[in-house]
Amino acid sequence: MPAVTVKDITVLPRVIASPKSSARTVKSVTSAPQGYEGEGFPVRRAFHGVDLADVDPFIMMDQMGEVEYSPGEPKGTPWHPHRGFETVTYIIDGIFDHFDNHGGGGTISNGDTQWMTAGAGILHIETPPEHLVMSGGLFHGFQLWVNLPASKKWSTPAYQDIRAKNVELLSSSDGGTLIRVIAGEVAGHQGPGTTQTPITIVHATLQPGAQLRLPWNSAYNALVYTMSGRGTVGDEHRPLQMGQLAVFDNANLDGDLLVVTADKAQESRALEMDVIILGGEPIREPVAWMGPFVMNTKREVLQAFEDFQKGALGIVPADHKEFVRQRGAALNRSGEGSKLSSDILSVHGAPTEMQEG
């Protein structure tokens, strides 16, 4: 698991929790079902079965892979639209290309993150580069959807390219956990990602038997997803294993410490425990979500579909049409990215019926 690693963790700043800190209790543990999206890309739906209020300000998180592709197998998504939120794609292993119709994008690989603010509306595509399609290889990553408050849903689309070398690296107090801060703040250390809503995103690797006591903003909710390995969460030592999500109690938002402990004995396929830790200040606004659009009302979602059909979200850039055709990705019925198709509606495995909360 390349992501970002260090030869000597002892040289990193150590995160030391205050002895007066109060550990957040665990509300629930759920298992992520496996599915497929786009052209057959394997994913785990991390937030499946969890109330949107418990993950606010987040909407959805998918673990993409881990999968070892044979030559010709790597998959991506077709061109598709978004409005009203942000997509954060973090690549642990492998390579991914991203392009959008506002000129954003590029290639990201081991430990890199691409952060796209869809705002008022954007078209984009995510696909493996041609050489990876030809050769095959390992691919593993995450995509997170971050909601935007009503005041920012109509903001100008934007793109951030966050390189692995810029991720803030820290050590746990016992030296047994490597902490990668991708966005937000941990114990006074700031990650490189610029956020539209107050959030923190961390990738932590715990050695067998290590315990992470992570200072946490008491105004934020808190989630821990296990991508590999096994251990426990909370001071109550709630078991957590690969593919499971722990939601910490956010009823009072009074706990300012998250506790994750790796089991001393790990599986042979995963010698360490790797977790994604995230949380943020809840937006607490109505959510209406269908397919690639996340708005505040059903009317706004339907308007987004209508705007897409009219071409108001733009068209696929001319210089990328042949690029997409060479990979066999269907743009949509018109081939221009300006008409709605059933593929576009469910491209990320998002709800095909209106969800309101």
CATH number of the domain to which 262 belongs: 2.60.120.10
Cβ(327)–Cβ(76) under 8 Å?
yes
Within-domain flag for 275: yes
pTM more than 0.75: yes
Rounded-to-integer distance, Cα 22 and Cα 299, Å: 43
Per residue in 169-220, pLDDT (tens digit) is 999 999 999 999 999 999 999 999 999 999 999 999 999 999 999 999 999 9
Residue 338: what pLDDT? Answer: 33
Within-domain flag for 125: yes
Count of structural domains, the chain:
1
Residue 290 has phi, psi (to 5 degrees) of -150, 125
Within-domain flag for 351: no
Rounded-to-integer distance, Cα 98 and Cα 202, Å: 22
Rounded-to-integer distance, Cα 178 and Cα 176, Å: 7
Per residue in 134-182, pLDDT (tens digit) is 788 888 999 999 999 999 999 999 999 999 999 999 999 999 999 999 9
Within-domain flag for 329: no
Rounded-to-integer distance, Cα 317 and Cα 98, Å: 13
103 burial (CB, 10 Å; 0-12 / 13-18 / 19+) is: exposed
Within-domain flag for 286: no
Average pLDDT, integer, range 234-259? 91
Pairing mode of beta strands 168-172, 14-15: parallel
Domain encompassing residue 114? 10-280
Helical (H) or strand (E) element with 298: helix 298-310
Within-domain flag for 318: no
Within-domain flag for 298: no
CB-facing half-sphere around the CA of 294: CA atoms within 13 A: 27
